[in-house]
Amino acid sequence: MPRPPVSLFYGDLPGTRLAAILRRLPPVSGDPVRVVKILGLSDRRGPVHGGAFLRERRIALDCTQAEFPRVFVHEMFHFVWVRAGNPVRRSFEALLLAEWRERARGELGWSAEWRKNDLSAADRERRTKLWREYCCESFCDTAAWLYSGKKGHAEFTLAERFRRRRRDWFRKIFSPRGLSL
Ligand SMILES: [Zn+2]
């Protein structure tokens, strides 16, 4: 029997909430990823709501129950990004480059937006670390917007026509193949 892809150890959070999120996603496959709650989570820039530890196959969260779906889906898609392969990653990058040419402002999460605001033309042309990090965070924030079930949020600032394009891209890529963690 296949093992469940996500094992949840998250305080008093009912497993049914996770099941509800997983039902909105394309089918998930891969070895288990543990989800744990860590109080006072931070990275080099200060406090954060979530972190993905890819080698340890662990997602650490420190967020409210209301933010849980968005933060969980974002961190889960860090695993999807790593597994997606270069053609898929470059295809998403091309979508973001097209947005740049059309001067799309805003993003679908603060993690992508602050990086986007820091980017220069040289970062895009040379595909620097900041550009590649931006692509990854934008991918995860787009997934969180699309699959978390949240209709509106202060961090959803990208214009509707660009949201539609991203949603179509995710459906085209992941509906047929599902998600590998
Ligand atoms: Zn992230």
**Strands annotated E in the chain:** 6-9, 28-29, 33-37, 42-43, 46-47, 50-53, 58-61, 179-180
Rounded distance from Cα 180 to ligand 1 centre (Å): 17
pLDDT tens digit string along 106-125?
999 999 999 999 999 999 99
Q: What confidence category does residue 159 fall into, taking pLDDT thresholds of 50, 70 and 90?
A: very high
Rounded distance from Cα 139 to ligand 1 centre (Å): 9
Residue 62 in domain: yes
β-bridge pairing 6-9 and 33-37: parallel
Q: What is the pLDDT of residue 150?
A: 86
pLDDT tens digit string along 70-98?
999 999 999 999 999 999 999 999 999 99
Q: What is the pLDDT of residue 171?
A: 96
Other C-beta atoms within 10 Å of 177: how many? 12
Rounded distance from Cα 109 to ligand 1 centre (Å): 10
Rounded distance from Cα 57 to ligand 1 centre (Å): 15
Rounded distance from Cα 156 to ligand 1 centre (Å): 15
- Averaged pLDDT for residues 127-142: 97
Rounded distance from Cα 78 to ligand 1 centre (Å): 7
Residue 149 in domain: yes
User: What CA–CA distance (Å, rounded) separates 10 from 37?
Assistant: 5
Tokens found for residue 57: 């196959």
Rounded distance from Cα 73 to ligand 1 centre (Å): 10
Q: Which domain holds residue 36?
A: 15-180
Residue with more model confidence, 59 or 17:
59
- Averaged pLDDT for residues 152-159: 95
Rounded distance from Cα 158 to ligand 1 centre (Å): 17
Residue 44 in domain: yes
User: What CA–CA distance (Å, rounded) separates 53 from 40?
Assistant: 16
Q: What is the pLDDT of residue 88?
A: 97
Tokens found for residue 170: 């995710």
Residue 176 has pLDDT above 50, yes or no: yes
Burial class (CB in 10 A: 0-12, 13-18, 19+), 135: buried
- Averaged pLDDT for residues 150-179: 95
pLDDT tens digit string along 3-53?
567 776 666 665 667 788 888 999 998 888 888 888 888 887 778 888 999
The pTM (predicted TM-score) of the whole model is 0.92
Rounded distance from Cα 74 to ligand 1 centre (Å): 6
Residue 162 in domain: yes
Rounded distance from Cα 1 to ligand 1 centre (Å): 31
Number of domains in the chain: 1
Residue 9 in domain: no
Residue 173 has pLDDT above 50, yes or no: yes
Residue 1 has pLDDT above 50, yes or no: no
Instruction: Return the CA Rg of the chain.
Output: 16
Residue 6 in domain: no
